[in-house]
Amino acid sequence: GAVVSQHPSWVICKSGTSVKIECRSLDFQATTMFWYRQFPKQSLMLMATSNEGSKATYEQGVEKDKFLINHASLTLSTLTVTSAHPEDSSFYICSAGTGAVTDTQYFGPGTRLTVL
Amino acid sequence: QKEVEQDPGPLSVPEGAIVSLNCTYSNSAFQYFMWYRQYSRKGPELLMYTYSSGNKEDGRFTAQVDKSSKYISLFIRDSQPSDSATYLCAMKAGNQFYFGTGTSLTVIP
């Protein structure tokens, strides 16, 4: 149980284009979803937290107009990187939880984004 | 001072060794404690989840929590090359999660 999928697993795009990454909870209802960014050999960096049906809460320094997050249902959240540039190249990982105080986070497999 | 401190390593051990991974924390409000394993270019995978002081065992893995000392550990018995990964500790207070920076482990055949 507690499986989270991400799609695509990797994507290469040209500078200036937008890229959408999907995160799905396959066997539970994810009230809360998190989006992380990770650079090589570095730790997870939380970008934003989203609750189903509400606007995402972004961490300090993360541009909400550049990283659009939508959590439209209890099983799907999307991250859109708008007007991507080479510095946006990174490993993006989502995680999901039921939102219960006793619950933990279950991570997706990650999406590697390369912007040329 | 960070909320959660974790030695980044790297840690290198021979196959079959007992591995001890540790995290310390400063916030006494933390009630839930987790260990994740992350292979290179993959998302973290939940290994252990505990919410009380004491030990929890799952196969070759034992998670230990000492709330009085604000210290948690993950022990890996009979370590295997497949255990080579980065291990992240995580803690939760309310709905807020706090992660360690991760310890890189290599098990040498």
Test the A interface: residue of B41, B50, B103 with most A CBs within 10 Å: B41
- pLDDT value of position B8: 86
- pLDDT value of position B45: 95
Whether residue B76 contacts residue B18, with contact meaning beta carbons closer than 8 Å, is answered with yes
Residue B91 has a CB neighbour count (10 Å cut-off) of 23
* Per-residue tens of pLDDT for chain B, all 109 residues: 678 999 888 999 999 999 999 999 999 999 999 999 999 999 999 999 998 888 999 999 999 999 999 999 999 999 999 999 999 999 998 888 999 999 999 999 9
* Per-residue tens of pLDDT for chain A, all 116 residues: 689 999 999 999 999 999 999 999 999 999 999 999 999 888 899 999 998 888 899 999 999 999 999 998 999 999 999 999 999 999 999 999 988 877 889 999 999 999 99
Residues A16-49: b if buried by 16+ CB within 10 A, e if exposed: eeebebbbbbeebebbbbbbbbbeeeebbbbbbb
CA distance B25 to chain A (A): 17
Q: Is B98 on the interface with A (CB under 8 A)?
A: no
- pLDDT value of position A100: 82
CA distance A68 to B6: 32
CA distance A36 to B42: 13
- pLDDT value of position B1: 66
Chain A residues with at least one Cβ partner in B under 8 Å:
2, 4, 6, 32, 34, 41, 43-44, 91, 93, 95, 99, 101-102, 104-110, 112
- Interface contact B97-A105, CB threshold 8 A: yes
On chain A, the residues whose CB falls within 8 A of the CB of B96 are none
What DSSP state is assigned to residue A101?
T
- pLDDT value of position B2: 76
- pLDDT value of position B104: 96
Range 8-47 of B in CB contact (< 8 A) with A: 32, 34, 36, 41-46
- pLDDT value of position B65: 96
- Phi/psi for B68 (5° steps) reads -65, -35
